Amino acid sequence: MKILLSLIALAIGIPLFAQTVTPSATPPPAAAPAATPSLVPDIHSKTIMETLIAAGPVMIVLFALSVFFVMLVIVYTMTIRRGAVVSSGYMATADALLRKRDYFGLLAVSNRHGEAIARVVQRMLDFTTKNPNADLQQVREIAETEGTRVAASLNNRVTYLADIGMIAPLLGLLGTVLGIIRSFGALGADLGTARYVLLSKGISEALVNTCAGLAIGIPAMMAYALFRGKAQKLISELESATTHVLALLSLQYGSRTERTPVLIEDEL
């Protein structure tokens, strides 16, 4: 039946089945308009690393500074600790050898240890063994000088973090100023609608530099406060250990001076 109706429709020229087209049928695709270059950058397609790289040459310096900051934190975590300044094992050995008056044995032990208190004791014993007639005040001055040097070394190492904490925001401010200069330069140029794109790009670079500088400076100052507190605590423990060693030496110096008059009376 459908074939017969089709033949009749074709014979009389009427499109009988044109009305059977369902509404869901999609019309033939129209020709796409010519692609026009977009002046607005696709910011959603950029990764964080690409955004940082596109923020100007100051970001290279900030990136190097951040790597240096992370390295300092790792090194300070391993070196600024109690075992690197005063260790219980060394103090027990030093106490036993000092009570036995084995100065050369303690000097050999101090040469094998790398703690800060070992270096202080080494300087004291080296001076004492080379100058047997030196009094306790001179030995105390040697200990104070070496202890001051070790304390200054700890404090100077920690201040590198404070330097990073101050330099990073300033570098971020430099990048911000360069981005603002670029933005106003684009705003004054006769580029049509493209100048607004360049304006937004310059402002984006300026804000990225500001954010990067603060993102490095704030953790650096926090790390500086943390390691400064640890350094001060270790310096106090070093002073306490040095005082303990000097107290043992003072007892031996006192006993030595008490035996000297007895020896003189026996000779007389």
Which token pair is 165?
């904490």
User: In 3-state terms, what secondary structure has residue 264?
Assistant: helix
| pLDDT surpassing 70 at residue 196 | no
State which amino acid sits at residue 122. Q
Extents of the domains making up the chain:
57-77+85-254
Which of 86, 104, 106, 243 has the alpha carbon at shortest distance from 150? 86
Q: Report yes or no: 45 and 162 within 8 Å, Cβ to Cβ.
A: no
Q: Which of 30-39, 118-127, 227-236 has the lowest mean pLDDT?
A: 30-39
**What is the pLDDT at residue 195?**
65
| pLDDT surpassing 90 at residue 217 | yes
Q: CA-to-CA distance for 247 and 119, rounded, in angstroms?
A: 17
**What is the pLDDT at residue 178?**
86
**What is the pLDDT at residue 39?**
43
User: Does pTM top 0.85 for this prediction?
Assistant: no
| pLDDT surpassing 90 at residue 140 | no
Which of 166, 167, 139, 168 has the alpha carbon at shortest distance from 245? 139
Which of 158, 160, 165, 153 has the alpha carbon at shortest distance from 216? 165
For the chain, how far is it from start to end, CA to CA, in angstroms? 154
Indicate the pLDDT class of residue 9, thresholds 50, 70 and 90. Answer: very low
**What is the pLDDT at residue 48?**
64
Burial-class residue 234 by CB neighbours within 10 Å (0-12, 13-18, 19+).
buried
Cα separations in angstroms, 256 against 103, 253, 260: 15, 5, 6
Which of 137, 119, 156, 154 has the alpha carbon at shortest distance from 242? 119
**259 versus 54: which is more confidently predicted?**
54
Q: CA-to-CA distance for 102 and 93, rounded, in angstroms?
A: 11
Cα separations in angstroms, 96 against 52, 249, 254: 60, 12, 18
Q: CA-to-CA distance for 240 and 172, rounded, in angstroms?
A: 43
Q: Report yes or no: 109 and 87 within 8 Å, Cβ to Cβ.
A: no
